[in-house]
């Protein structure tokens, strides 16, 4: 063809960190702590629910179900989120099921963002927000969480990364259509405090902006921290869409079942995008996720609850990885939530060969060198920043610790050996 094939909306978004680093991990890694997925099995009750859904008499579960969500799943989601938010939810209008949280995000941007609209994104951010805003014709406006090191603590916590209130306020204007909030945050593991959320809420109300609240790690919160739902704060229910993921909730990322929860006046537009694009999500997976939520609702807050158990197990894994990294001088930032951990790799510069005139940030070069030479896969942190800010945050990598004890031990062995090689002449 002599005319351009590619639509203009795809300009500049052809590269994708997951495509690149999943391939590198598959080729070189012995221990994959890169892309975020558990390498331990999902809970038995989830698998059993899927098997029951496959039984002979349930053959209709092989067919289409309701376009906006399988009835048993939207019913239980409405009950659970109704309880969490302290309000009555209508399963037919306040909940919609999507193909993973990815599709929920895509639907939000397509539904709400027009040419000329600005969308505020807090850095570091889950990478897809930026291309999705652009594809919708909007302009992303970035505001970073700023690290505030404290002298009395040996290691930083994700809580030490904070928004500057004046800087955040300065990003809002009449062009602001929405802010994307991701708490607990991927990649830092920051769990926004009630005070931080109240500030964001106040600005949303003042500037009549929407809040797209990506809460896929809502159950992965440690050390007794509270996950506050911004939709429960004053003036926020009417302007917030909550996004969730069964992949993260039930340690089954390949299932790709997600959802949106919010007021009908917002969800109606999300339904318009969904019915004209994906239309429908896999029925059997929705059925099994619905049954698993039923179990969790019955066990809510009890020690047998998977949500309680998973967080407990992950907290222990987090602590193991923190120790391993700290011991070799890769300063970990202790995450309050999620199954990710960011570590400072400044002191490893001498290990990674300099590439003259390389435009690649140091963290990319480090992560590529590490997977090829040490066999550990991780993700460079600057992948979670806009182009203009990448160079300010190019000395960190993100590790995923949702891994079997044996995997974390293998990582520890490699790190210890590496340290010995560094210290012995």
Which stretches of the chain bind ligand GLN, using CB under 6 A? Answer: 18, 35-36, 186
Which residues, listed in sequence order, are joined to residue 154 by a DSSP beta bridge?
Answer: none
Chain centre distance of CA 190 = 11
Which residues, listed in sequence order, are joined to residue 123 by a DSSP beta bridge?
Answer: 144
Instruction: Give the residue with the Cβ less far from ligand PMP, 212 or 414.
Output: 212
Q: Which of 130, 213, 245, 412 binds ligand PMP (CB under 6 A)?
A: 245
Q: Which of 21, 50, 81, 126 binds ligand PMP (CB under 6 A)?
A: 126
**How many angstroms separate the CA atoms of 29 and 24, rounded?**
7
Place of tokens 């807090």: 122
The helix/strand count (H/E) of the chain reads as 13, 15
Instruction: Give the residue with the Cβ less far from ligand PMP, 245 or 382.
Output: 245
Q: Which of 21, 50, 102, 366 binds ligand PMP (CB under 6 A)?
A: 102
CA distances from 220 to 72, 104, 228, 408 (A): 25, 20, 13, 18
Q: Using the rule CB under 6 A, is 100 a contact of ligand PMP?
A: yes
- Contact criterion met (CB below 8 Å) for 149 and 90: no
Q: At what angle do helices 17-28 and 362-373 cross, to 10 degrees?
A: 20
Instruction: Give the residue with the Cβ less far from ligand PMP, 296 or 328.
Output: 296
Least spacing, CB of residue 1 vs ligand PMP, in Å: 33
Q: Which of 248, 317, 318, 365 binds ligand PMP (CB under 6 A)?
A: 248
Q: Using the rule CB under 6 A, is 186 a contact of ligand PMP?
A: yes
Least spacing, CB of residue 355 vs ligand PMP, in Å: 30
Q: What is the DSSP string of 35-100?
A: SS--SSPPPHHHHHHHHHHTSGGGGGGGS---TT--HHHHHHHHHHHHHHHTS---TTTSEEEESH
Per-residue binder mask for ligand PMP (CB under 6 A), 34-53, x = binder:
--x-----------------
Instruction: Give the residue with the Cβ less far from ligand GLN, 35 or 315.
Output: 35
**How many angstroms separate the CA atoms of 147 and 346, rounded?**
15
247 binds, among ligand PMP, ligand GLN, none (CB under 5 to 8 A by kind): ligand PMP
Instruction: Give the residue with the Cβ less far from ligand PMP, 180 or 343.
Output: 180
- Contact criterion met (CB below 8 Å) for 129 and 306: no
Least spacing, CB of residue 101 vs ligand GLN, in Å: 8
Q: Using the rule CB under 6 A, is 291 a contact of ligand PMP?
A: no
- Contact criterion met (CB below 8 Å) for 185 and 129: no
Q: Which of 123, 214, 218, 287 binds ligand PMP (CB under 6 A)?
A: 214
Q: What is the DSSP string of 121-144?
A: EEES--TTHHHHHHHTT-EEEEEE
Least spacing, CB of residue 102 vs ligand PMP, in Å: 4
Instruction: Give the residue with the Cβ less far from ligand PMP, 217 or 418.
Output: 217
- Contact criterion met (CB below 8 Å) for 261 and 98: no
Instruction: Give the residue with the Cβ less far from ligand GLN, 278 or 299.
Output: 278
Instruction: Give the residue with the Cβ less far from ligand GLN, 180 or 204.
Output: 180
Q: Using the rule CB under 6 A, is 216 a contact of ligand PMP?
A: yes
User: Which parts of this chain interact with ligand PMP (CB under 6 A)?
Assistant: 36, 100-102, 126, 182, 186, 214, 216, 245, 247-248, 253, 256, 258
């Amino acid at each position: 063809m002599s005319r351009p094939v590619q639509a203009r909306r795809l300009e500049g978004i052809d590269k994708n960190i997951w495509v690149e680093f999943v391939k590198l991990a598959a080729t070189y890694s012995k221990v994959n702590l890169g892309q975020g997925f558990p390498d331990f099995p999902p809970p038995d009750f989830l698998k059993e629910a899927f098997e029951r859904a496959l039984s002979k008499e349930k053959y209709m579960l092989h067919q289409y179900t309701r376009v906006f969500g399988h009835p048993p799943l939207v019913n239980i989601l409405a009950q659970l989120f109704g309880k969490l938010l302290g309000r009555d939810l209508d399963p037919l209008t306040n909940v919609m099921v999507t193909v993973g949280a990815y599709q929920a995000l895509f639907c939000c941007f397509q539904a709400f963002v027009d040419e000329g609209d600005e969308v505020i994104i807090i850095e570091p951010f889950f990478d897809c927000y930026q291309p999705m805003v652009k594809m919708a014709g909007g302009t992303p406006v970035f505001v970073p969480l700023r690290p505030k090191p404290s002298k009395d603590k040996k290691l930083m916590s994700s809580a030490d990364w904070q928004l500057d209130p004046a800087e955040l306020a300065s990003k809002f204007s009449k062009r602001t259509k929405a802010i994307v909030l991701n708490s607990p945050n991927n990649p830092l593991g920051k769990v926004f405090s009630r005070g931080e959320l109240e500030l964001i809420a106040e600005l949303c109300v003042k500037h009549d902006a929407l809040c797209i609240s990506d809460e896929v790690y809502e159950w992965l919160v440690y050390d007794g921290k509270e996950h506050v739902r911004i939709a429960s704060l004053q003036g926020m229910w009417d302007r917030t869409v909550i996004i969730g993921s069964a992949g993260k909730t039930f340690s089954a990322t390949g299932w790709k079942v997600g959802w949106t929860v919010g007021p009908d006046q917002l969800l109606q537009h999300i339904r318009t995008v969904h019915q004209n694009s994906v239309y429908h999500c896999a029925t059997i997976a929705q059925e099994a996720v619905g049954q698993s939520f039923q179990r969790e609702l019955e066990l809510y807050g009890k020690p047998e609850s998977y949500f309680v158990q998973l967080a407990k197990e992950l907290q222990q894994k987090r602590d193991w990885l923190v120790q391993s990294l700290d011991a070799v001088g890769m300063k970990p930032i202790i995450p309050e939530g999620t199954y990710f951990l960011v570590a400072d790799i400044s002191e490893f510069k001498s290990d990674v060969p300099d590439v003259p005139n390389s435009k690649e940030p140091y963290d990319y070069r480090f992560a590529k060198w590490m997977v090829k030479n040490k066999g550990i896969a991780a993700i460079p942190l600057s992948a979670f920043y806009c182009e203009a800010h990448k160079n300010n945050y190019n000395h960190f990598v993100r590790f995923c610790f949702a891994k079997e004890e044996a995997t974390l031990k293998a990582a520890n062995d490699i790190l210890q050996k590496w340290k010995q090689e560094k210290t012995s002449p």
